[in-house]
Structure 1
Amino acid sequence: MNFDYSDDQKMLKDEARKFLDAKCTTKVVRGVLDDAGRHYDEALWRGVAEQGWLGAAIPEQYGGLGLGHVELCALAEELGRAVAPIPFASTVYFVAEALLLLGSEAQKERWLPKIAAGEVIGAFATSEGPGPVTSGNIRTTVANNRITGTKIPVTDGNIANLLIVLAKDGLYLVEGPVESEVLTTLDPTRSAARLTFANNEAERLGDEDGLSAMQQVFDRAAVLLAFEQLGGADRALEMARAYALDRQAFGRPIAGYQAIKHKLADIYVKNEIARSNAYYGAWALNAGAAELPLAAATARVAASEAYWFASKENIQTHGGIGFTWEADPQLHYRRSRQLSLVAGAPSTWRERLVTQLEQRNAA
């Protein structure tokens, strides 16, 4: 079985990299990082919409390109490599996927074309505080199609105009904006907010139990997030290698010293483990395979570990300069921390992985 990209998918990936190299430089990323009043790069968002990426996995009948999830994974990898400061993940991996999975025909026809065109920024609001989301800590309620409650933190919640919100009895679509408070986080290039719902209009999304529906969306998003993390981890390794070859110490490049060689080799090994698991997840997602929950958990755990390790060791390889504001390794460290907490912390996914393995072995 060939788990590599096809020639067409490689071409898509190459063109995406060229576009992002030109339109999403570190100057663009820092423009959002340095400006507390900017929560994403509007020009890049419009450019990505014009490229059709927002609708890559959305069927043509709903205004998308209808390419498939493997192509979306390829785009996610390049977006992660560029540390793109746009709400792509919230809108596409979560909201669009939830609509495709759970939405009625009317809901799909109304919202998916707008997502594909870049007219909608989405956010997926589930958490109400620290710790994993369980039935016992969901306090958001819906009565007479009106929703009341608070969600914190919600990635891109302050800029979203379409929210999917977890309430006690299920998932609901809520049109934004809603009352929000921007939160201070480690990665300001992806905003987060506290959202307060005070009898906002809400429309039921799907008929399933809320937690079950949420986990199905999380499984799909986890694979796509893993590719973003993989792209970032690969770029962090490239940065560390380039600096190690250029930086001189005691008359020779520091890349020639065993400690640096081992550091870079360790990053490479973790990245390749993450890649194999991410490819497994991409296959399961694209095929709609029964193994998706296991594949998603495996990809999520491996990619979170790889990106955090690569971004951390990239800073260490740069030495003292790596800790300065002017140096770029911080961009990947910040994003690695942000991505690891979206859709549940790594510890939650490790528990899910163990549970999936136990269920498989018991079958």
Structure 2
Amino acid sequence: MKGLRHAATIGAIALAGAAVLGAAIGGALVLRIAREVVTPSPRKHDTDVIAVDTGAQTIELARTPDTELPGRYGLFVDGTPGYVKLGAVLQADATSVRRKLLTQIDPGAQVGRRAGFSGYYYLAPGELHLPYESELIGTPAGPCPAWLFPAESTTWVIQVHGRGATRSECLRAVPVLHAAGLPVLITSYRNDGEGPRTRPGSYGLGSTEWRDVDAAIGYALRHGAERILLMGWSMGGAVVLQTLMSSAHVDAIAGLILDSPVVDWRSVLRFQAKEMKLPDPLPQLAMEALGQPWAARLSGADQAIPFDDLDMVSRAAELDVPILLLHSDDDGFVPSDASHALAKARPDLVTMPIFTGARHTKLWNYDQNRWTDAITDWLGAQGFAD
């Protein structure tokens, strides 16, 4: 009996130890997932370069849901060119896509295998052949570089890029806005790789970055703006929505344009966790960790992430300006469900034309005419265009 009791005691200690170890491993995994959410990451290599024909000026890429899209795009490549522009799909099979090169690659250029497919298209402001100025905007986090495309109107557009992106993401929208007579200010923000870095260097998912956009609004108002339109891409949508909710200059904000926006982070993170096949309840536990100050700090966040505040579907009643919402129903990264829910909750404010087939933040690339017309028509209907 004594031996049995001893064995049972040893067994209980072993089981308790295993439980503690399992909990520790599980807790570490939750914090790792949480850290991934708020940590800026380097540009993804999401396709492979299979072949380059410098005579025909074509490039063959591994086929993905993005690389097979019709339209004009960009491609970040390892090697000499660095970045090239892509035109029409010329041929596709089950594993590869051959596209026209719109940026010449010279014979002998070294092009690496790994590449990142991009909707940017324009990489630098000079490519638009419009007058622009480089500015620095003082923010609570430090100076944020910005591009200003001047025009005569006192209604300014301030554009905000998304997660893992840079100001270049916003350049596609400048021509249609400039054609409407509107000055366009494209600003960076904290921890985006161009703006100032805070001590942890992490994203606030809109809960901190809005302060830098608020500073950009102040800059615009000091330089002749009387009304402000905010345009946000992807996470930039969450940023401008939080700016509308919290800005000291809220009376100057006259409307929003949202492209593939994050309207509710919980739905986005659940979707992405499902795509990555993360088992329940890890995604929920990661969000709960980010919502607690001590766990958020362990995850590398500046502060706890207020997911309730970032849920603009539940806060739809607080909105009071017209919104143009552009979102493809096959987005593949930020599901359009929350955007549709917001449009349904506030049909008096939200205009949401239906887009399909364009994937994430590539509506301009996929159907430039329809995307441009949607913005032009909305600006005219709201009385914003000159």
TM-score, reference length from structure 2: 0.24
Select the structure of larger CA radius of gyration.
Answer: 2
Judging by fraction of residues, say which structure has more helix.
1
Judging by fraction of residues, say which structure has more strand.
2
